[in-house]
Structure 1
Amino acid sequence: MLSQTISHTLRTPLYERHRFFHARMADVGGWELPTAYGSQIEEHHVVRADAGMFDLSHMCVVDIHGTDVRMFLGKLLANDIGKLKTQGKALYSCMLNNEGGVIDDLVVYYLDDEYFRIVLNAHTASGDIQWIHSQIVATNSSVTLVPRRQDLVTGDAEPLAIIAVQGPNARERVFRAIPSTHTAETVRPFNSITVHDAAVGELMLARTGKTGEDGFELIMPAKHAAQVWDMLRSAGIHATGLDAWETLRLEAGMHLNGRDMDPQTSPFDAGLGWSVDLGSERDFVGKAALCTRRQTRKFVGLAFEGAAVARTHSQVTSHQGEVIGKVTSGTYSPTLRIAIALALISPDIQFGSYVSVDVYNNRVSARVVRPPFVRDGSPVQQHDHA
């Protein structure tokens, strides 16, 4: 679970809505956020079977403008920005340091030839922005960076909020809540559209998310966030907390920066090699290091026989007692009804084999599997034995 003791924290534009509906609030990376509104397990199943919504306004939208913005992003990001040719198209990429380690993983949207939008992870946002500014200086670029999160916004830029609506009925419910000339079928995966609603102004609907379910991430002016939240609730979308988001993303085998990867982890170690463009002549930050960096770890899933959850950093050992890696994220899977984990282990360990994990001072056996554990709401059948 994500819950911790609340201290001095930041609050999103939806804070009062969460309190009104009696959400359990906790400090999540410096933000006072809803971890659950009732049963975490029920909220998890609602997203798998119907539609749930999450307040992700602690994540950071950054708009980037300029005549050479495409060239700049081509140097900044490991994935090929040249893939973005259609307005609204999205691209997942890692942003690397000079040593080829992951500073952040992010989604970038092409809005026009001089305007892109990036969504950064919450806890790395401030450092990410400093890094991007340093690269603007290093490349002598003329691009302008405009943070849109309420605590980072400057000048006359309007702060934005993010609501993720996820689940098999998510898209249909969103268009029921927010009338549009578009339909649930017109927005393709990893694409976005902009909807103009008379009541709440401009909303960006991006068909992205980290739950393993279909749906949208809605980006809107922070001043309209509560109204949009109420419109979505009126369309039958359930309010869900971040504890359910955590179990959903782990079942889907999706990474969380700071746990499953960090600046010391290469995208190849983290299982994100598919998002790195080494095949072209394009240079980007970290490319030279990746070309010579040997893979030292492999990103895997661990399926346990029981319900005891392994903590982050729990040691993974072979049955001969040799330390071969560590757990990066662990949880109880409501869909599978067993404990699961993500881990970085020796690349020599084969899928289908068994390892031992330190769980509350006990050595527990787990099977090494390929993430995800759940796809389209159903358990993935694992057939890896070599």
Structure 2
Amino acid sequence: MAQHTPLYATHVAAGARMVDFAGWDMPVNYGSQIEEHHAARRDAGMFDVSHMLALDLAGADAKAFLRGLIANDVAKLVEPGKALYSCMLNPDGGVIDDLIVYFLSDTSYRIVVNAGTADKDVAWIQQRLASTGTQATLTVRRDLAMIAVQGPNARTKTWAAIPGSEAASNTLKPFQAAAFGDFFIARTGYTGEDGFELTLPSEQAAATWNALAAAGVAPCGLGARDTLRLEAGMALYGNDMDESVSPLDAGLAWTVDLKDPNRDFVGKAALVANGARRQVLGLVLEDKGVLRSHQKVFTAQGEGETTSGTFSPTLEKSIAMARLPLGVAPGDSVEVDIRGKRLKARVVKASFVRNGKGLI
């Protein structure tokens, strides 16, 4: 039986089209997916992301444990509320999950993991805690809801909807969070736009959602969230990386920190031994058609594959992220197998739209 977020009844009452996503009943849209996409690009849209899971790690060894658990280095986090994006790897260097870690103190961190991998992630972390004898406790926070408010007017409308929140969050820099009463307000997102991700007690979720709607924030579903994140060149677990793919081959080398030769982490030896064998670049289709995931790409350097693809509402072009051979570069022409036909595409950097503006 599918799980329900604290906002399930709110979505159903609003007429949302509900679909199964990673075992959760989630809204894919409330009407026009294109209009929801444009709302987040041009004004403000909100997304129920309560299916994702917050984990609190606390204890004397919390920092040392995380330095060995993930590929990025939490030692660079020194300012309370500062966030870090990273991948958690298996010993072969494959990605168990991509996640965000928030620094609260040297002995306290919040980790946000993906819905589809949440149970696996918790089991892996608990196993690592036990096997390393770490003095730290992991608390699973299913008592919390999460709402992402995204778009050029997202912060202003959030402040209007949640009285007093402006004073607590108006000085936040990107990838930084602050507490406001029961709320945890993070200036993060998955759309390529400014905004907040709000973590709050489940029982306050519906009232907060309705207050945001009254302030002019448009409810948006998973469909718009996917086209927005792909336009921004943001990876999706299960499409753009998984346990068989190294972050070095998934366009996520920037999330791997190898600066400290004395820091070891799970998967490090495999990354160092194998290096990068593929690269992630963007594609813009020049013929008529639609790029989707897992389509074969033909280049002068050999074959590659699209990992995520869609029609971009902002650019009005079909775009994709693709894992390609080393040596392919932006500006190159390639061909993509779409339903048995080789269609022409142009290689670009794997970021198509940011802050409402096209980059290609």
Fold in common (TM above 0.5): yes
Identical-pair percentage? 51
Picking from 257, 282, 285, the partner of 2:263 is 282
Q: Which 4+ stretches in 1 moved above 4 angstroms?
A: none
8 A contact 1:74–1:81 mirrored in 2 = yes
Q: Give CA-to-partner distance per residue, 1:204-251, whole Å, 9 cap, x none.
A: 000001100000000011111111111111111110111000000000
Aligned to 1:301: 282
Aligned to 1:117: 110
8 A contact 2:149–2:197 mirrored in 1 = yes
Picking from 22, 34, 39, the partner of 1:46 is 39
1:268 Cα offset (Å): 1.0
Residue 372 in 1 paired to residue 351 in 2?
yes
8 A contact 1:269–1:296 mirrored in 2 = yes
Aligned to 1:259: 239
Alpha-carbon distance between aligned partners in 2 of 1:84 and 1:307, rounded to the nearest angstrom: 46
Residue 310 in 1 paired to residue 291 in 2?
yes
Aligned to 1:156: none
Aligned to 1:185: 170
- Aligned runs of 1:30-109 on 2, under 5 Å? 30-109=23-102
Alpha-carbon distance between aligned partners in 1 of 2:169 and 2:127, rounded to the nearest angstrom: 40
Aligned to 1:326: 305
Aligned to 1:3: none
**Structure 2: unaligned runs, 5 residues or longer:** none
> Which amino acid is 2:215 matched to?
A
Residue 169 in 1 paired to residue 162 in 2?
no
8 A contact 2:169–2:185 mirrored in 1 = no
Residue 24 in 1 paired to residue 2 in 2?
no
8 A contact 2:37–2:227 mirrored in 1 = yes
Residue 195 in 1 paired to residue 180 in 2?
yes
Picking from 229, 236, 241, the partner of 2:216 is 236
8 A contact 2:168–2:179 mirrored in 1 = no
1:183 Cα offset (Å): 6.1
Task: Give the structure with the larger helix fraction.
Answer: 2
Cα separation, partners in 2 of 1:221 and 1:183, compared to 1, 3 Å: closer
The number of residues matched between the two structures is 358
Q: Could you state the TM-score of these two structures normalised by the residue count of structure 1? A: 0.90
Alpha-carbon distance between aligned partners in 1 of 2:334 and 2:324, rounded to the nearest angstrom: 10
Give the match's secondary structure for 1:268. helix
Aligned to 1:247: 227
Alpha-carbon distance between aligned partners in 2 of 1:343 and 1:140, rounded to the nearest angstrom: 41
1:112 Cα offset (Å): 2.4
Aligned to 2:331: 352
8 A contact 1:306–1:338 mirrored in 2 = no
RMSD, matched Cα: 1.4
> Which amino acid is 1:17 matched to?
T
Deviates more, 1:92-101 or 1:347-356: 347-356
Q: Give CA-to-partner distance per residue, 1:73-129, whole Å, 9 cap, x none.
A: 111111110111111111111111111111111000112232110000110111111
Aligned to 2:144: 160
8 A contact 2:168–2:178 mirrored in 1 = no
Q: Give CA-to-partner distance per residue, 1:155-192, whole Å, 9 cap, x none.
A: xxxx1111000000001111111122616631111000
Picking from 318, 322, 344, the partner of 1:343 is 322
> Which amino acid is 1:114 matched to?
T
**Structure 1: unaligned runs, 5 residues or longer:** 1-7, 150-158, 197-201, 382-386
Q: Give CA-to-partner distance per residue, 1:298-356, whole Å, 9 cap, x none.
A: 1111101256222321111137xx85111111111001101101111111222211111
Alpha-carbon distance between aligned partners in 2 of 1:274 and 1:195, rounded to the nearest angstrom: 31
Give the match's secondary structure for 1:163. strand
Alpha-carbon distance between aligned partners in 2 of 1:110 and 1:296, rounded to the nearest angstrom: 32
8 A contact 2:290–2:310 mirrored in 1 = yes
Q: Could you state the TM-score of these two structures normalised by the residue count of structure 2? A: 0.96
